Chains A and B, each alone.
Chain A
Amino acid sequence: MNENSGGLRVWHIVLLSVILGLLILFYKGLYGNPSFIPPVLVGTPAPRFEAPDLYKKERVTLDQFRGKVVVLNFWSSWCQECKLEHESLQSLNRQYGQNAQFVLLGVDYQDKEDLAKDYLQQYGNNFQHIIDTQGRISIDYGVYGVPETFVIDQSGIIRHKEIGPLVGETYIKFTREVIEPLLKEKS
């Protein structure tokens, strides 16, 4: 649309740079692995965060759970698979919620507050949720898509990462091979 002359040079350069930039990006992309998700943080200290609770006005920090096993579940109201695992999460909390050593914390990711509340209203809720408004927590944890679940041990080290919904076999394995051993570790 730059037909009224004048700026011709500028759009030439912009167009060429966009094309070249893209080609370089594609070239680099060839040698990357799209499905490779950096083995973020398993075995390293969990990034600290402070975020508002979805319902109450208070701020929640990771530090306040020191000494507990923290299950951090990233979810969204627009995420289909989250709905599938939601029932499992609730039963996880029914099973371990009484244990003083266990905390299940939902992190609402790239979402709108009212949509998130509607979601919980609809599918039920028995655990605490925080909102990741700026996406900071998700970025710190390298969340690639939802649902993703992190397990942080009593001394604040990430011990496990689960990509995808916790349902069926995955859920059983998760409780048996991750949660149970961790809870036994220091008690």
Chain B
Amino acid sequence: MIIEIGHLAVIAALVLAILGIIAPLVGIRKEKGVWIEIGRQAVTVNFVLLSIGMAAMIYSYITQDYSVKYVWATSNSKLPFFYKVAGLWGGHEGSLLLWSWILSFYCMAAVWIHWKTQPVVIPYLIAMESLILSGFLLLILFLSNPFERIFPAPSDGRDLNPLLQDPAMVGHPPMLYLGYVGLSIPFCFAMAALFSGRLGEEWIKVTQRWTLLAWMALTTGILMGGYWAYYELGWGGYWGWDPVENAAFMPWLIATAFLHSVMVQETRKMFKVWNLFLIILAFSLSLIGTFLVRSGVLSSVHSFAADPGRGVFILGFLSSMLLLSFGTLIFRSAKLKSLVLMDSMVSRESVFLFNNLFFLVAMITVFIGTLYPLLTEALKLKKVSVGPPYYNAVFMPVALGLIFLMGVGPYISWRKVTRDNLRSHFVIPLLIAGSGLVLSYIGGIHDLYALSGLTVVIFALTSILLDFSKVSRFWARQRKINPFQGFYAAFRQNPRRYAGILTHIGVLVMVVGIIFSTIYQTEKVVVLKPGESVTLNAFRIELIRLYEAVGPNWVAQEGAFNLYENNILISEMRPQKRIYTVTQTPTTETALHQIYMGHVFLTIPEVAPDGSWARVRALYNPLVLWVWYGGGIMVLGGLLNIFRPRRKEVYSFHSSSSPSAAEPISPLPQLSSKRVSPEP
């Protein structure tokens, strides 16, 4: 009964979503507010209806109603409670429902927040969001209905995919969806701007925080996924260029490019078409990602069962969205010639230009790599896989370039750079980076990637710190406070800038983590009998014994290992080879020991049936935790940026249109112009 209520609620939501497309458009056409008001109410009611749908599904999971086909397919009576709820997004149908629910939530929130301030574009936004929502609801109701029943009802479920039975399952998919779907808000604002012809800087300012929110969720989701893959799949890496990872990474790259290039439009009124293009591209990549994952076009650890019927529908929807959005952009672009041209190739504008080019190249690289198997198949070429070397070859230089720009971009002046600007900001960082290079080489780092990576990291970090010290001292002098308070004053003066730079610091930390954990990872794969051991750097790992272990819905062979560092016992580790009883799926459970911000990583991929030996894979991943610490700092920067205090001055100088008035967006150019004059 409950499930039917949920089903009806979702049917009603579809009807209202279609109304949500039509009503605002009628309202705009006939200039009648009441129609727009209907659209607005439809959005709110839709969220309530979809919440009922979600609640009905969750209720069926908790009450173990296996007459609901989807519950039967993704749950089991022995499954821990935790995963009974998370089972909702453990398969195709439920994930789509979650997608739609999040979409309706975002839409409602956007309408509430911007209703008063954006009366012209909101009706278009409602229509656009409703269009996306109805596409998904059609898909849910006609092709992948989670509310479907089976008769007779099975006595127990087929169990959730064991790889998904992990705490990360609770957070990782919803986070990614918050990111994917979150991009729909700036996308819809951009579309609304295109439709309504209000193509100024307004939509950029309105959507800046929304984009950040989506970006932050996407970052968190990707990081969680990386950590999950790291310990669950047991191969010791956190990034494998898997098609589904790539599907999340591509919108991230473009959203990041967008977050940077909007700053150019805000201050210099340039890149107008480009920004529209980027945000349309970012959301399109979310949709393409959904298509790739959901239709089974590419094979991946994440893929669910393929169904061409479903695929055709998603593709049809994707096609209409792509053609509608890019088509409108092309149609309207003639209006959008920007009046400002680049003054110099060495200026902050051009740094942003390169930043965008790098991100775009990165995204195209990943895109081609991901679709390559599809391409070879369509062209009847022989299938060849694209391995990590392909991605690394293209990605490394791009990443190095981007880090370098991090050290340059925020400190170079707009329009045209002066010799003094270059001298005061970049001589010291370059010198320090140079000596860092020499020291690292002497210190034993000889890998080319590691050396160049560390050098640019040092350069960027020195640039940042140098600037921190300059502004802190500036404000300290100005207000007669100590430099720490001075730094806080600088932050208060321009929280957006410093939150952004905090994110940059996070990236730098992460890059150091990536360099060390991939290039200086050590690994041994050996067969051990109890009593034998393997050495790895200063560590010795001894297999004590192998035995059986039993869990709620699995049995395992577990190994007890002692971990010695310089022959001193420091820890005990217990990796498992697990078999989930319902599905008979084997998984590898990793044992991790955290040390010096890195990990000793242990798995037993193979155990003799009689327990006499085990194949042991031991890894030392130095500084691997920096990858996630860095990620954490990035997210923190994003949070600070979203919830930064509003600053009155921001609006005063934004409204001015002369390019020189754009300068004070950061206090720095102003500051540096003061510093050019001889110091007192």
Contact = CB atoms under 8 A, between A and B. Distances in A.
Interface string B260-292: 000000000011111000000000000010010
B656 to A, nearest CB: 21
B330 A15 contact: yes
Nearest to A31: B308
B243 to A, nearest CB: 9
B73 interface: no
Interface residues of B, number: 59
A138 B382 CA distance: 10
Given A8-B333, A26-B315, A3 B273 contact: yes
B370 to A, nearest CB: 12
A144 B384 contact: yes
Contacts of A86: 525
A110 interface: yes
Contacts of A31: 308
Contact of B523 (A38, A83, A87, A142): A83
B387 A32 contact: no
Interface stretch (B11-19, B319-327, B466-474, B672-680): B319-327
A78 B386 CA distance: 12
Interface residues of A, number: 50
A100 interface: no
Contacts of B497: none
A34 B299 contact: yes
Nearest to A5: B337
Interface string A18-56: 010011011111111111011010000000000000000
Contact of B315 (A27, A33, A35, A146): A27
B377 A32 contact: yes
Interface string B520-547: 0001111100000000000000000000
Given A26-B291, A30-B311, A37-B383, A19 B322 contact: yes
B336 interface: yes
A23 B322 contact: yes
A82 to B, nearest CB: 10
B389 interface: yes
A152 to B, nearest CB: 18
Given A3-B270, A83-B525, A83-B617, A15 B384 contact: no
Contact of B337 (A3, A80, A138): A3
Nearest to A28: B378
Contact of B272 (A3, A144, A167): A3
A160 B382 CA distance: 18
Contacts of A167: 605-606, 615
B271 A3 contact: yes
Contacts of B378: 25, 28-29, 32
A4 interface: yes
Nearest to A24: B378
B330 A1 contact: no
Most buried by A among B272, B288, B389, B617: B389
Contact of B605 (A76, A84, A138, A143): A84
B397 interface: no
Contacts of A25: 371, 374-375, 378
Given A23-B322, A30-B308, 5 more contacts: A1-B273, A3-B272, A19-B326, A34-B299, A140-B382
28 contacts: A3-B272, A8-B333, A8-B334, A16-B330, A19-B326, A22-B322, A25-B374, A26-B297, A27-B312, A30-B312, A30-B315, A38-B383, A78-B387, A78-B388, A79-B387, A80-B236, A84-B617, A87-B615, A110-B389, A122-B523, A135-B384, A138-B384, A140-B382, A143-B384, A143-B385, A144-B384, A144-B385, A146-B387
Interface of A: 1-5, 8, 12, 15-16, 19, 22-23, 25-35, 37-38, 40, 76, 78-80, 83-84, 86-87, 110-112, 122-123, 135, 138-140, 142-146, 167-168
> 10 closest A-B pairs (Cβ-Cβ)?
A34-B299, A145-B385, A29-B297, A30-B311, A80-B235, A28-B378, A35-B299, A3-B338, A29-B374, A32-B377
